[in-house]
Amino acid sequence: MPELPDVTIYVEAIARRVVGQPLAGYAVRSVFALRSVDPPLDLLVGREVRAVRRLGKRIVLDFGDELHLVVHLMIAGRFRWISAGARTRVPARIALAELSFPGGTLVLTEAGTTRRASIHVVRGGDALAAFDRGGLEPLGATRAEFAERLARENHTLKRSLTDPRLFSGIGNAYSDEILHRARLSPLRLTSRLSEEEVTRLHEATRATLAEWTDRLRADTGDGFPETVTAFREGMAVHGRYREPCPDCGTAVQRIRYRDNETNYCPRCQTEGRLLADRALSRLLHEDWPKTIDELEG
């Protein structure tokens, strides 16, 4: 699922192309894409886009008069921009919806067969606020605000960082990167953090998200983001199972649960201990190695 850095770059790229432009027309290619009926999408046709912004992991197009179009990309949703006059075509099997503007067409796509990406048209502040999960914006958060959110519920750091009610825009990929930078185990309980560890985590969160946002912004330039993925070249641990940690060279390990995978460095983050992978540890029982030294041996 696109997270804060990726969604921010989408917002900036879309804004450069559509702010001040009227919606000339639209096409809904999948019956699953448009999740609202009142107000109708027809009401936006002819209206200029006033602003584009991020709301958690959602993208909001402001059409004025308290009318907003809200897009949630979910896991596989992506945007494509087709400039006016271009011959580029988006394959029908992945196209969900098209929004046409004088300068081009914004196409919402989704790979695979499961349709989770969504579009809502809403009117009024209260209706828009219903999409706000209440998470703290991590880039602007003070150390005190960050600590207060961590202390609200006693969960693992991985769960807390990715909880949209606690922190806005952080998902599976960047939480792995944040925890590696902070040198903290993903399974460490929030209630057991020292003051120094809270400070370290706060600084790592802001630095990781800011650096990746800047990096993606530089890569995109004035273009449109074409490759939005959770697996980026240059990530320290996420998606790098069995590859060497860039800081210590130890093989990156993982914890798998359903469709999610948490990656971490056992030397940098867990004092050499291996965290039990649900599938493998149940299979191996007593033969499951407890430390990275046992595994390497």
Q: Write the secondary structure of the chain as one string of H (helix), E (strand) and C (coil).
A: CCCHHHHHHHHHHHHHHHECCEECEEEECCCCCECCCCCCHHHHECCEECEEEEECCEEEEECCCCEEEEEECCCCEEEEEEECCCCCCCCCCCEEEEEEECCEEEEEEECCCCCCCEEEEEECHHHHHCCCCCCECHHHCCHHHHHHHHHHCCCEHHHHHCCCCCECCCCHHHHHHHHHHHCCCCCCEHHHCCHHHHHHHHHHHHHHHHHHHHHHHHHHCCCCCCCCCCCCCCCCCCCCCCCECCCCCCECEEEEECCEEEEECHHHHCCCECCCCHHHHHHHHHHCCCEHHHHHC
pLDDT in tens, 35-49: 999 999 999 999 999
- CATH annotation of 4-129: 3.20.190.10
pLDDT digits over 82-140, tens only?
999 898 889 999 999 999 999 999 999 999 888 899 999 999 999 999 999 999 999 99
State the chain's mean pLDDT as an integer: 93
pLDDT of residue 285: 43
233-251 mean pLDDT: 96
Give CATH for domain 138-296. Answer: 1.10.8.50
Domain ranges of the chain: 4-129, 138-296
